[in-house]
Chain A
Amino acid sequence: MLQPPDHEDRLRRLLSLKRYECPPPGFFEQLPRQIRLRIERECRPRPSLTAWWRRLCLEWDLKPALAGAALIAAGGVYFFTLPSAEQSPSNGAGPATLAGSVLPSTKAEVGAGLLAEANPYVADTNASPSLRARGYQPPPAGLFQPGFRLQIDRAAYESVPAFSGLSNAARVTTLHRQTAP
């Protein structure tokens, strides 16, 4: 089966044909970019929140006691905060508040708020001062009681130079509201 070794030289010359086999044109120009993209895709570190969560899950898998402690702590926080959350609406302090902010109660207020976020200049010139969330204060206690006197000062306006082609634009600067007993 085996051939005598005198054909070795011919075999060597035949094998040299392999050196002329070339990949498609441009292959070696594209390859580094493809490798780099693949490295960036596969070796990029995960987002920190995901990594933190995975690490936490891994810790919990390894330490069931830690998972149990975390569960008890979460349950404790929930049960201790639940009664105070139920009591807060019955205080009668007016509309529900979240962290000191006032929720809009009418569609007009909601619309004005969105408008103010989208374009503050439009909100400043067109919106009523009472709709401005930052300047809003809760109504004084006893507003509708007999004998209650509400003293209201005129809102002060000052003219500002024309802006963006709008002449005679007025900008609300201050709103003073004083109440009297």
Chain B
Amino acid sequence: MTTKLQEDQVRSHRAGGGEEERALVDSARRGNLEAYDALVRRHQERIYATLYHMTSNHEDAADLTQETFVKGYRALKTFKGDSSFFTWLYRIAVNKAINLLKRRRNRHHLSLNDLDHHAEQDPELVELLSEQTPFREAGLSELQTRLNEALQKLSEEHRMVVTLHDIQGLPHEEIARLTGCNVGTVRSRLFYARQQLQAHLADYLK
């Protein structure tokens, strides 16, 4: 389901700027906070987005983003460069999110970010709202709430796959690297997660 454009973006990110990123990582490893600052600015949005989509809570996502980067700085000496810095950091973020969600399984609440005003102009959403479905009566913010509630009903592993693939556009292979499982498992989790979401959002998808 990932578009070719999204896969190209991910591939170009991984290939492009590799040397520059390696230099920044080496410099940060020697204690240069300016270099680490540059790495933070480079990756903060995607790390935050992943954590936000996993938790559906802005405060949790903000805290976890900070913790991820602080832990990343502390653990820089253990980064061997087998994977890209981003993949390594992503793994820290995902593990932190899963740990938090397991601790708070029974006391989770949504704290959703506002929708960007461009959402109303997205052709896919416009088309969705114009169809003869309950979407027409529901406002975008209500849809947002229902969608996040449905996502929170998924297990952490299934939510992560949906987040990384359907929302953030990472390819199966990259998700497999991040989660430490094989591509077949990623596909199977994705399939099952979508089925679950369709069941939870049945009223809106008829």
Q: Which residues of A contact B (CB under 8 A)?
A: 1-3, 5, 7-8, 10-24, 27-28, 31-32, 34-36, 38-40, 42-43
Minimum C-beta distance from A34 to chain B (A): 6
Closest B residue to A25 by CB, please name it.
B114
Q: Which of B13-21, B89-97, B116-124 contacts A (4 or more CB under 8 A)?
A: B116-124
Taking a contact as CB atoms under 8 Å apart, the answer to whether A32 and B40 are in contact is yes
Taking a contact as CB atoms under 8 Å apart, the answer to whether A17 and B119 are in contact is yes
Taking a contact as CB atoms under 8 Å apart, the answer to whether A17 and B33 are in contact is no
The docked-state distance in angstroms from the alpha carbon of A7 to that of B198 is: 7
Residues of chain B within 8 A (CB-CB) of A22 are 113-116
Closest A residue to B117 by CB, please name it.
A20
The docked-state distance in angstroms from the alpha carbon of A32 to that of B41 is: 7
Contact for A12 among B33, B45, B166, B195, CB less than 8 A: B166
Taking a contact as CB atoms under 8 Å apart, the answer to whether B1 and A12 are in contact is yes
A-B contact pairs, 11 of them (CB 8 A): A7-B206, A11-B201, A15-B162, A17-B143, A22-B113, A23-B61, A27-B62, A31-B65, A35-B40, A39-B73, A43-B74
Contact for B33 among A1, A27, A36, CB less than 8 A: A36
Residues of chain B within 8 A (CB-CB) of A18 are 53, 144, 147-148, 167
Taking a contact as CB atoms under 8 Å apart, the answer to whether B205 and A20 are in contact is no
The docked-state distance in angstroms from the alpha carbon of A139 to that of B197 is: 99
Closest B residue to A8 by CB, please name it.
B194
The docked-state distance in angstroms from the alpha carbon of A39 to that of B35 is: 13
If the complex has contacts A11-B205, A31-B66, are A1 and B199 also in contact, measured as CB distance less than 8 A? yes
The docked-state distance in angstroms from the alpha carbon of A136 to that of B123 is: 94
Interface residues on B, range: 35 or more
Taking a contact as CB atoms under 8 Å apart, the answer to whether B125 and A16 are in contact is yes
Residues of chain A within 8 A (CB-CB) of B127 are 13
Taking a contact as CB atoms under 8 Å apart, the answer to whether A19 and B198 are in contact is no
Contact for B48 among A7, A10, A20, A31, CB less than 8 A: A31
Taking a contact as CB atoms under 8 Å apart, the answer to whether A3 and B33 are in contact is no
Chain A residues touching B, majority SS: helix
Residues of chain B within 8 A (CB-CB) of A12 are 1, 166
The docked-state distance in angstroms from the alpha carbon of A122 to that of B74 is: 55
The docked-state distance in angstroms from the alpha carbon of A58 to that of B46 is: 42
The docked-state distance in angstroms from the alpha carbon of A1 to that of B192 is: 12
Q: A22-B115, A36-B36 are in contact. List 19 more A-B contacts (CB 8 A).
A: A3-B198, A3-B199, A7-B198, A7-B206, A8-B1, A10-B205, A11-B201, A13-B125, A14-B143, A14-B205, A15-B162, A17-B122, A17-B143, A20-B122, A21-B113, A27-B62, A31-B40, A32-B37, A32-B44
Taking a contact as CB atoms under 8 Å apart, the answer to whether A14 and B147 are in contact is yes
The docked-state distance in angstroms from the alpha carbon of A10 to that of B125 is: 10
Contact for B115 among A10, A20, A32, CB less than 8 A: A20
If the complex has contacts A23-B58, A32-B44, A38-B70, are A11 and B140 also in contact, measured as CB distance less than 8 A? no
Closest A residue to B204 by CB, please name it.
A14
Closest A residue to B118 by CB, please name it.
A20
B112 touches A (CB below 8 Å)? yes
The docked-state distance in angstroms from the alpha carbon of A3 to that of B198 is: 6
Contact for B128 among A8, A14, A20, A23, CB less than 8 A: A14
Taking a contact as CB atoms under 8 Å apart, the answer to whether B41 and A3 are in contact is no
The docked-state distance in angstroms from the alpha carbon of A20 to that of B147 is: 13
10 pairs of A and B residues whose beta carbons are closest in the complex: A20-B119, A3-B198, A7-B205, A20-B116, A13-B124, A21-B113, A35-B69, A32-B40, A15-B166, A2-B195
